[in-house]
Amino acid sequence: MKKLAKLGIVLSLVCILVGYTGAAAGAEYLSGLAAHYSFEQTLADSTGKFAAGQIIGSRIGPVPGEVAPVDAEWEIEYRDGQIGSAVRLDGSQGILLPSGLITGNTYTISLWVKPETITTFTPTFFGAAAGSSWISVVPAGPIGDQTMIWSGENWYDGITEMTIPTDEWSHLVVCVNAGDVRMYVNGLERFRGIDFPDVFSGVEEAVFTLGVNWWDPPFVGLIDELRIYERALSPTEVDKLFRRAREVVRPNPPVFREVSVHDPVAIKVDGTYYTFGSHLASAKSDDLIQWQQLSTNVSNRNRIVPNARIELAESLEWANTDTTWAKGIIELNDKFYLYYSVSTWGSPRSAIALMTADHIEGPYQYQGMIINSGIQGAAPGQSYNRAIHPNAIDPDLFFDTEGRLWMVYGSYFGGMHILELDPETGWPLPDQGYGKRLWGGSQAAMEGPHIEYNPETGYYYFFISYGTLAADGGYNIRVARSENPDGPYFDPAGGDMIRATGASTMLYGAKLVGNFLFAESDIGYVSPGHNSTYYDKELGKYFIFFHTRFPGRGEYHNQRVHLLLMNTEDWPVMAPHRYAGETPSPYLVEDVVGEYQYVNHGRITSARITNSTKVLLTGDGRVSGAVEGTWEFTGDYTVTITIGDEKYYGVFLEQWDSGLRKWVMTFSALSNNNEAIWGSQIGGVYDEEQN
């Protein structure tokens, strides 16, 4: 076999050296991307600049320089790849790429390969201007079966002094810069040379393939993430490509199982997440994706509290009700303490009571009412005043950093109050009355308080829901923070939550989510609220749990779980789509540019649904479309977006769009004016329907 046939797999990645642009402040911008074949169940070029690859046989053609006809009926197999899916070549076929991928003498070729077998001269990436003028990236070349970049023009051998392994992913990159050539394996430079042949300058109809050439044994194995750049990447950029692919975690498309838990409070016990809510509803899940309903309402068949009407009779009679409202739960003294509310709509005659169990799923036994409201004021002999005294519902329990136990509670009326509890008994410490007011008052429409300490930032975060829970009530989730468990709590604008009373409430608290609809995806929320959060130390993830109604579906509601991520200002931003197993990863500019469905959640509480508009994020750091501005990376996945004079600090995150049924890039950001903006990319990187 002629030595010119041995260009093989050596040319797996060719890099072009180009500087970064403004959009990449804090993160490499790998500009100059000519083509990107990600093999996400398709042979298409994700940049849209070139046509899709085509399946060919085990040779390019019968003789060098000729290309055999393509059979449109041929099929190809996709398997799990380094990122998402990869294409598998079985030795009987290869992929014909469009001509024009490389047209000059400065370029980069980058790809991931996982050979099942290694045969000498077999190509991974192959490009030819003529039968004797070609380059090949080969796992095993003519010199000691070493992985190399090889050229038939003047027989150029760029050996790496190693052979990549079988059944493992290897990242191959070749960078050519006007005759200077470097080859990298798994981020490390393994060859450097000069006078590399100029094969493609002035050639209009060059031939490019994966896995096959005109002479040698075809490649058998997986190929993923082929990228062609019109410049030579720097060593830092090559390392960025390598690390990014290893760190990207894209789970399989999720299969959600729904449950209905209104006002959910979350806890994790022995690897399982549990939520408890109003009307004694409860559910559990091992992965936050598929949920199992444990109970739904107050009945003799409720597994959490059997014979609930008898067990909880004292508290139900006090509030003149037949059901329970929101819960709070904490593990204390080797037992589970489940606090619950009893009340009737619009009445201040309410109570928070306690029941305990040895096991998280019960049965729970009644222990008594720990606090009630509506009869007297904060001190003996004082009359109850709706404007200043709390409504004793919606309990939430948490420990501070010193081990002190607190309960924050309240709804409408006199605002949100906090009490310190005895960690031995779970009951309030004496002589506190209703406790200390932290947020609201003067019958402002807010409820569902929740506080959690975040060890990464050192702040206590206070979440609350404004509005009312019905579909026309404009429920929305807000947040403030403090260095102390009992406040004072401030929002990003510097507002003190103690001032959020009466008609002024909408000016206070950063609004994380309200009514919205992603029009292209046809998914959205109506009155999302009454949340809890859970920081999972094992996963290093911060989750928010809440209930929501949906556009056009009346009072029907389900539980939802989303990721919370911290921006550069140490404020939580809420991921736009429900959690599907995703993990933040380092992203490149080319990962995030494109057209997005765009929502600004604003500051007001309203029943109006905010419909998405469209914006475009471009590679030079511009935002255009419904709004105009700029954007720039501030870290591996953090971003600052400037719209007009307002800066929004946020994150990029690849998520599953249940409407489009694709993995899409998203952004979520929060301004110092208490407004959150979301974006969900219209194009996607994986479409389950194409399986």
| pLDDT tens figures, 343-360 | 999 899 999 999 999 999
How many domains does the structure of the chain reveal?
3
Which listed residue (40, 237, 263, 311) is catalytic? 263
Which listed residue (224, 447, 452, 486) is catalytic? 447
Task: Please report, for residues 101, 115, 218, 223, 655, the alpha-carbon distance to residue 94 in angstroms, rounded to integers and kept in the order given.
Answer: 17, 14, 7, 11, 32
Confidence at residue 369, expressed as pLDDT on a 0 to 100 scale: 98
Tell me: do 303 and 195 sit in the same domain. no
| CATH number, position 165 | 2.60.120
Q: How large is the average pLDDT for residues 335-339?
A: 99
> Can you tell me the distance from the alpha carbon of 561 to that of 577, in angstroms, rounded to the nearest whole number?
9
Task: Tell me the two tokens of residue 48.
Answer: 């849209």
Tell me: do 501 and 518 sit in the same domain. no
Spell out where 77-185 has E strands.
77-80, 85-90, 94-97, 106-115, 125-130, 133-138, 148-151, 156-159, 170-177, 180-185
Tell me: do 476 and 358 sit in the same domain. yes
Q: Is residue 254 domain-resident?
A: no
334 contact partners, CB below 8 Å, separation of at least 6: 358
Confidence category of residue 687, pLDDT binned at 50, 70, 90: very low
Q: Is residue 611 domain-resident?
A: yes
Confidence at residue 686, expressed as pLDDT on a 0 to 100 scale: 42
Q: Within 13 Å of residue 29, how many CA atoms lie on the same side as its CB? A: 22
Three-state DSSP class for 304?
A: coil
Tell me: do 418 and 507 sit in the same domain. yes
Asked about 263 being catalytic, the answer comes back as yes
Q: How large is the average pLDDT for residues 508-513?
A: 99
Which of residues 513, 539, 574 is at a domain's end?
A: 513
Instruction: State pTM to two decimals.
Output: 0.80
- What is the extent of the structural domain holding 691? 514-691
Q: Is residue 113 domain-resident?
A: no
Tell me: do 572 and 584 sit in the same domain. yes
Return the higher-pLDDT residue of 289 and 48.
289
Tell me: do 536 and 524 sit in the same domain. yes
Confidence category of residue 684, pLDDT binned at 50, 70, 90: low
| pLDDT tens figures, 52-85 | 999 999 999 999 989 998 877 889 999 999 988 9
User: Residue 688 above 60 pLDDT?
Assistant: no
Query: What DSSP string runs through 376-428?
Result: B-SSTTPBP-TTTSPPS---EEEE-TTS-EEEEE-BSTT-EEEEEE-TTTSSB
Confidence category of residue 249, pLDDT binned at 50, 70, 90: low
Return the higher-pLDDT residue of 23 and 472.
472
| pLDDT tens figures, 208-237 | 999 999 999 999 999 999 999 999 999 999
Tell me: do 458 and 316 sit in the same domain. yes
> Can you tell me the distance from the alpha carbon of 280 to that of 278, in angstroms, rounded to the nearest whole number?
5
Tell me: do 406 and 533 sit in the same domain. no
Confidence category of residue 10, pLDDT binned at 50, 70, 90: very low
Q: Is residue 229 domain-resident?
A: no
| CATH number, position 486 | 2.115.10.20
| pLDDT tens figures, 589-626 | 888 999 999 999 999 999 999 999 999 999 889 999 99
Confidence category of residue 26, pLDDT binned at 50, 70, 90: very low
Asked about 80 being catalytic, the answer comes back as no
Confidence at residue 244, expressed as pLDDT on a 0 to 100 scale: 80
